[in-house]
Amino acid sequence: MNIKHNINTILSISASLLLLSTSCTKNFKEYNTNPIGLTNEQINADFTLASAFLQQAQRGIIPEDVGSYQLAENLTSDSYSGYMGAEAPFRSNSNNLTYDLVDGWNSSIWSYRYTNVMNPTYKVINLAAENPNFKDLDAFARIVRVSAMSRVSEKIGPIIYSQYNVMNEQNYIAYDKQTDIYNYFFEDLESAINTLKGLVSSDVSSQMLKSDLAYTENNYENWLRYANTLRLRLALRLVYVDAGLAKTQGEAALDPANGGLLSENSQNCFINLSVSHPLNVIGYEWSDTRMGAPMESIMGGYNDPRISKYFEPATDPVVAGQYKGIRSGIEIDSKARYDSYSKLDFFNENKLQIMVAAESWFLKAEAALRGWANAGDAKTNYETGIQKSFEMYGLGASASAYINDGTSKPKPYIDPKSVTTGQNDITTGSSYLSTITIKWDDGATNDKKLERIITQKWIAIFPDGEEAWAEYRRTGYPILFPVVVNYSAGAIPTIPGVRRIPIPLSEYNTNTAGAEEAAGTLGGPDTGGTRLRWDVEDKSF
């Protein structure tokens, strides 16, 4: 892969984005002002354009563009979550993975979603306000907006959301603080949920059918379930910092009167892509990503049959036939050293996974552990989450034996090709090698029960590195491996590791007062070592 090529790809304007461009030269104006030179009358004449905006936004929840995906996802959260590791020593091995955070890479986290999600959803919401026949598109736009922008906030912290396209009297655009942003997410979700509840028994409109890239039937019901599941996900994110709000929002999501959660694999949310799956390109055409070492340790130790659905056996003669992962943040002298470790299994369907039913069962398991109304039984939810994940990969018949395995544990990680012998190994007895087993134990502490839930959720939601990294920072689970090489010059401690991505330099350069004001709310310097609000030090149950 050519990093310069990818950055140029992100900054270039594709034909599809010409609809969203303006004559403004300031980045903050491009990202935060009305970008569409079309009147509502023009769009009302043909809802095809509104549907096109929503299709673009869905494909921006997780970037479908491969260059943007690599920089915004694969070289941050895919690796920080333990899912994947890069075999190439980008920038002489001084890069995100060794904690020398690269703004030229990380700015795509911000720019891609403001261009491809906030802009088009903003226009659709404004359009729907003037056209009551588009109330379903209003709900849809709000769900998509929260889906994407919560991911940005959970990497960076404060973001521009409620003040999008609003220049204040001081001539800058203000950010929403971390203490406020989730309230805006919940407001959008509640509005969408209430709308879809009123439509769920109605015929799906032609504009919704044209807009929806995930479902071909039961569109209103499925997006209603998705919205409730997203609400529960975000509610649990706040459980350590605002237990009252978390419980209120979580119980609203769990209330069956609000439409239910994703519960079956037929309701899984996968977005149809207009290009090749980015991980196929990154993994096979560019040969830039491989299995992460924690996946080898945890799935290998559990003898988890899903490993063959996620990865290919290594072909390097030293480890041929094994599922072999790369530990992130290590000394790498050349790409050839690890290029023949395990590739990701090829994604045969050209779809990006956004959320699956298994996750909702694990969310319910934690909610039950916390005593929230309508959450059900923690053990039943936990085991159902595993069952649904196995069924998703055609392995349903193997689930029972796995669920009842009370002895298997994550296995030591040994890297036979490390530059310095033994430097990358995680051996028996290491504090970074979990001892958690699979089988539910009613007699375990709540902390151990939570570790079981999150570890299995981590396995089940692969390859969604953003959500996996967010949950790791929130809960401390699953137990992952620290970096070996740290080039942050003290900005990011090796333990507990990188906690966030800084506000992009483009914002400091073009929305200076807004960025500086936002940075002042972080509770620490604008570096990768400062925790987000919900990432508390004391994570005990």
Asked whether residue 503 is domain-assigned, the answer is yes
| Residue 470: inside a domain | no
Is residue 184 within 8 Å of residue 161, measured between CB atoms? yes
Q: What percent of the chain has pLDDT over 70?
A: 91
Distance of CA 134 to CAs 192, 213, 436, Å?
A: 12, 17, 49
| 99, 488 Cβ separation under 8 angstroms | yes
Question: What are the φ and ψ backbone dihedral angles of 426, each rounded to 5 degrees?
Answer: -120, 105
Give the closest residue to 295 by CA, choosing from 234, 355, 345.
345
Q: Is residue 404 part of a domain?
A: no
Query: Which one-letter amino acid corresponds to residue 510?
Result: T
Per-residue model confidence (pLDDT) at position 36 = 44
Nearest residue to 450 via CA among 534, 293, 399, 458: 458
Residue 327 corresponds to which amino acid?
A: R
Residue 5: predicted pLDDT: 43
Looking at residue 22, its pLDDT comes to 33
152: containing domain: 18-84+97-213+497-532
More confident position, 10 or 541: 541
pLDDT in tens, 451-489: 999 999 999 999 999 999 999 999 999 999 999 999 999
CATH of the domain at 525: 1.25.40.390
DSSP H helices in 393-481: 399-403, 446-460, 465-475
pLDDT for 77-127, tens place per residue?
Answer: 999 999 999 999 999 999 999 999 999 999 999 999 999 999 999 999 999
Residue range 389-422, pLDDT digits in tens: 999 999 999 999 999 999 999 999 999 999 999 9
CB 298 within 8 A of CB 291: no
Q: Rounded distance, CA 489 to CA 403, Å?
A: 44
The candidate with the shortest Cα–Cα distance to 233, out of 37, 433, 468, is: 468
pLDDT digits (tens, 9 = 90+) for 343-353: 999 999 999 99
Strand pairing category for 84-85 and 269-272: unpaired
- Please tell me the distance from the alpha carbon of residue 196 to that of residue 191, in angstroms, as a whole number: 9
Query: Which one has a higher pLDDT value, 7 or 161?
Result: 161
Q: Which of 433, 471, 56 is nearest to 273 (CA)?
A: 56
Axis-axis angle for helices 135-156, 48-61 (nearest 10) = 20
Share of the chain above pLDDT 90, in %: 90
Question: Quick one: pLDDT at residue 46?
Answer: 47
Is 345 among the domain residues?
no
Between CA 382 and CA 363 the distance in angstroms is 9
Q: Tell me if 332 sits within 8 A of 419, measured CB to CB.
A: yes
CA distances from 505 to 446, 489, 502, 527 (A): 42, 19, 8, 12
What's the pLDDT score for residue 47? 74
Cα 473 from Cα 532, distance rounded (Å): 9
| pLDDT tens-place string over residues 264-275 | 999 999 999 999
Q: What is the pLDDT of residues 164-218, one digit of tens each?
A: 999 999 999 999 999 999 999 999 999 999 999 999 999 999 999 999 999 999 9
Q: Quickly count: other Cβ atoms within 10 Å of residue 130's Cβ.
A: 11
Tally of structural domains, the chain: 1
- Per the domain annotation, does 7 fall within a domain? no
Look at residue 311 and give its three-state secondary structure.
strand
Residue 395 lies in a domain: no
Q: Is residue 392 part of a domain?
A: no
